[in-house]
Amino acid sequence: MRIPPVMWFNTTGPCDPRRHYMLPPAPRLPEARTLIEMGRYFVLHAPWQTGKTTTLYALASELTAEGDFAALMFSCESAVVFGDDYAATEELLLHSLHEAAQRSGWPEKPLPPQATAGSRFFEALSELCRRSPRRVVLFMDEIGALRGDSLVSILSQLRDGHNARQSGHPFPTSVVLCGLRDPREYAGGPFDFVEDSLRLGGFAADDVAELYGQHTQATGQEFTKDAVDRVFELTQGQPWLVNALASKITFDMKVTGAVTADEVEDAKERLIQERPVHLDALMAQLREPGVERVIEPILSGSWPLAEQASSDDLSYVRDLGLITREPPPAVANPIYREAILRKLGHSLEYCVMADPHSFVLPDGRFDLPLLLREFVLFWREHGEVLTQQEGYREAACQISLMAFLHRLLDGGGYLDPEYAAGTERLDVLLRWPHPGPDGERLMQREAMELKVWRAGENDPKPDGLAQLDRYLDRLTLTTGVLVIFDRRPEAPPWQERGAFEQATTPSGRQVTVLRV
């Protein structure tokens, strides 16, 4: 008896239905089929590793199998090295086109040998369509690799062919330009022939359950509802993250039995600490000026005051997938939130000299008061330099506190940061697992809120107490910590900072206030 092939959660390249768990691609992009039937030329764009290429491959295969269309798909990615050299770019794209045609069964190369540079792509597509008994659909993946004159040349030839169809000239019925961004947003050139722009979104919560259900059906291993819910909460449906967490649990961690929310938490921590290519590539964008102009005020909670970020900056960071598409802008999901803070604060962790083990109490709980006292010493020593550093200066307090917490938790606990747009605060939930009296696994939860006192502003303590009150109410906690960073010119000298006081929130909760 033939043993069925092993299936995996895919985290590299397009999905292969013979080897990978995957959702049916076509329902993720229902408009595409209609636009192709209408003979439209359109753009498909989405963030990295969202499933664009997988969806296009599936659509191309489906169209070709039905018999009315001949769908050709190739990538422009290799052309990135040619920049403005449109002749070299054209030559490479023609080679890719020929290979795609051969894979689809064309017996001959369609390129006329004497075509002039700058028109060869047009002539090749015309000849290909002239020879094809079917309507041709062209999928050009990674269109963002084309730059400058090369992009203008290829688009001009596509436009000429699009318009020539009206007089019966053979040319593709439909062309799909696919990439990270909608090229109409960043490049000049002839885009009047591109009539529509589609964006491929992430998974819905039901999609995550369906994908994980395929693994359950294949292996019998169940993902509990709490685990599936936590995955969606952490990823907000970002397809690569959804697959990466499941792969980490089922392959790397080799979890047996039902997968729980606790294992999802462990997988999330490992994923962020290991910094796979997906996260590394995204985090590498943080130092780009346009990205910094968007992300810095989100981290500091001062977004409505951020006049330096342009609509182009916002559009670019949205297209990267780093922030939500709906206003106000926020980091796209909790995993990206934590990864951003870890990336920006990574070097600071080496400045923390305290031993993480010294913060664990005899009963296994975490000593939060000691942590706060140690942070005062850390901030007195390093705060002045950190607040004057280049890059993300306005978010230095948030980045520094999170780096300190990450270092001292050292993989033994969890941090859930939340940015609150427009309130100039950062909420942090510290979760620390520890054994109970009977050996059961308990979870210590400590809530902190960070506020910054800037020049010309009133003391943020009253607002901070009210905001912390609402945060504690949502977490069903009775106490918390309000940390106020004083960044006014008239702030006390650095060696005198670190005053503790007890305060009462509007609802009567007793909380600790730390001023640094």
**In the chain, what are the domain boundaries?**
26-199, 205-274, 344-515
With contact defined as beta carbons under 8 Å apart, do 469 and 505 qualify?
yes
Interacting residues of 322 by C-beta distance below 8 A, sequence separation 6+: 282, 285, 291, 294, 295, 331, 332, 336, 340
Q: How far is CA 327 from CA 308, 332, 514, in A?
A: 17, 12, 32
The first and second tokens of residue 422, run together, are: 């427009």
Residue that has been written with the tokens 């439209």 in this structure: 40
Q: What is d(CA 448, CA 405) in angstroms, rounded to the nearest whole number?
A: 11
* Residue-wise pLDDT tens digits, 405-426: 999 998 789 999 987 655 668 8
pLDDT of residue 418: 86
Which one of 1.20.120.520, 1.10.8.60, 3.90.226.10, 3.30.365.10 gives the CATH number of domain 205-274? 1.10.8.60
The first and second tokens of residue 124, run together, are: 């090749």
Closest to 451 in 3D by CA, of 494, 514, 389: 514
* Residue-wise pLDDT tens digits, 244-286: 999 999 999 999 999 999 999 999 999 999 989 999 999 999 9
Helix (H) or strand (E) holding 174: strand 174-179
DSSP 13: S
The first and second tokens of residue 17, run together, are: 């239905």
pLDDT of residue 364: 95
Fold of 26-199: Rossmann fold (3.40.50)
pTM, to two decimals: 0.91
Question: What residue spans of 393-495 are helical by DSSP H?
Answer: 396-409, 461-475
Q: DSSP string covering 117-152, please?
A: TTTHHHHHHHHHHHH-SSEEEEEEE-GGG--HHHHH
With contact defined as beta carbons under 8 Å apart, do 323 and 331 qualify?
yes
**Distance from chain centroid for Cα 153:** 32
Give residue 224's region: left, alpha or beta (phi > 0; psi -120 to 50).
beta
Q: What is d(CA 343, CA 337) in angstroms, rounded to the nearest whole number?
A: 10
With contact defined as beta carbons under 8 Å apart, do 267 and 245 qualify?
yes
Q: Letter for the amino acid at 401?
A: L
Q: What is d(CA 241, CA 239) in angstroms, rounded to the nearest whole number?
A: 5
Residues of the chain where predicted confidence (pLDDT) is lower than 70: 1-5, 106-114, 187-190, 304-308, 420-424
The first and second tokens of residue 68, run together, are: 């009315």
- Describe the strand order of the beta sheet including 174-179 as a list of residue ranges: 69-75, 135-141, 174-179, 41-45, 196-199
β-bridge partners, 482: 449, 513
β-bridge partners, 442: 434
Q: What is the dihedral of CA 282, 286, 287, 289, to 10 degrees?
A: 110
Q: Letter for the amino acid at 408?
A: L
pLDDT of residue 108: 62
Q: What is d(CA 393, CA 452) in angstroms, rounded to the nearest whole number?
A: 13
Q: What is the C-alpha R_g of the chain?
A: 27
With contact defined as beta carbons under 8 Å apart, do 43 and 236 qualify?
no
Closest to 151 in 3D by CA, of 84, 219, 243, 237: 84
